[in-house]
């Protein structure tokens, strides 16, 4: 998933880009509204409203005239009018400086779930894989998989963003409800079991040093 950061403050933009890259995102950073409009459309735009030259509100206005790319606007504390205007122009969400990185991640994932058809539905289809979220059932072709609770949760998380890399830290946070920055052997054990039950190890790819992604199979 490609995120474009539009932020002129290096002290904010550099660590933010590095953090998002560690989470498995492909990140591009520009510092002006003009450069943002000239950049290839990303999967999500993180847009500061206070920019040199063309401000973020005008960037949002112009982008919405030609695209429905998800936009999260970034505002300074107390700029309520700017937040309202940004949302009225079509921004999907906003976050106020200073913000926590985990809060931003949660907002990114929430916006992308709303933006991507199927990820908020009770049924997810990826290739020959069908996942019934409410019934907690997973079927490949005609075969229902016998999954443990954690195996199902892990598979559902990967299937919610097929083709995108999901970091191991995010997997631990959302599936095991924990933060851990050491070895992640627990994840590896569950992935090995899932690959076996899916019947084709190609369903789940390991991106070395980053995380995992689900790849559609026939």
What is the domain-level CATH number for residue 146? 1.10.10.10
Q: How far is CA 209 from CA 4, 15, 88, 212, in A?
A: 22, 19, 40, 10
Residue 116: the pLDDT is: 60
Note the pTM of the prediction, 2 decimals. Answer: 0.59
Indicate whether 100 and 145 sit together in one domain: no
Task: Specify which residues 28 forms β-bridges with.
Answer: 4
What is the domain-level CATH number for residue 44? 3.40.50.2300
Residue 184: the pLDDT is: 63
* Average per-residue pLDDT for the chain: 86
Task: Determine phi and psi for 217, rounding to 5 degrees.
Answer: -125, 150
Count of structural domains within the chain: 2
Reported as a single tens digit per residue, the pLDDT across 139-152 is: 999 899 999 988 99
Indicate whether 150 and 85 sit together in one domain: no
Reported as a single tens digit per residue, the pLDDT across 94-123 is: 888 888 888 888 888 878 876 664 444 568
Which residues form the domain of 44? Answer: 2-115
Indicate whether 43 and 86 sit together in one domain: yes
Indicate whether 91 and 143 sit together in one domain: no
Indicate whether 36 and 80 sit together in one domain: yes
Reported as a single tens digit per residue, the pLDDT across 77-93 is: 556 666 677 777 788 88
Indicate whether 102 and 70 sit together in one domain: yes
* Domain final residue pick, 86, 115, 144: 115
Q: How far apart are CA 29 and CA 11, in angstroms?
A: 13
What number of helices (H) and strands (E) belong to the chain? 8, 12
Quote the DSSP letter at residue 63.
H
């Amino acid at each position: 998933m490609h995120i474009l950061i539009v932020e002129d403050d290096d002290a904010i933009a550099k660590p933010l880009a590095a953090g998002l890259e560690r989470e498995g995102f492909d990140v591009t950073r520009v510092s002006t509204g003009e450069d943002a409009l000239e950049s290839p459309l990303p999967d999500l735009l993180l847009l500061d409203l206070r920019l040199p030259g063309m401000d973020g509100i005008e960037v949002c206005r112009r982008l919405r005239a030609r695209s429905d790319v998800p936009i999260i606007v970034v505002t300074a504390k107390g700029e309520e009018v700017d937040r309202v205007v940004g949302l009225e122009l079509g921004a999907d969400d906003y976050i106020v400086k200073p913000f926590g990185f985990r809060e931003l991640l949660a907002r990114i994932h929430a916006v992308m779930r709303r933006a991507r058809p199927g990820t908020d539905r009770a049924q997810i289809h990826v290739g020959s894989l069908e996942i019934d979220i409410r019934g907690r059932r997973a079927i490949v072709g005609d075969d229902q998989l016998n999954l443990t609770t954690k195996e199902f949760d892990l598979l559902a998380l990967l299937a919610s963003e097929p083709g995108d890399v999901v970091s191991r830290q995010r997997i631990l946070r959302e599936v095991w409800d924990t933060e851990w920055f050491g070895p992640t052997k627990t994840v590896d054990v569950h992935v090995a079991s899932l690959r076996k039950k899916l019947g084709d190890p190609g369903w789940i790819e390991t991106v070395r040093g980053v995380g995992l992604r689900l790849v559609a199979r026939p």
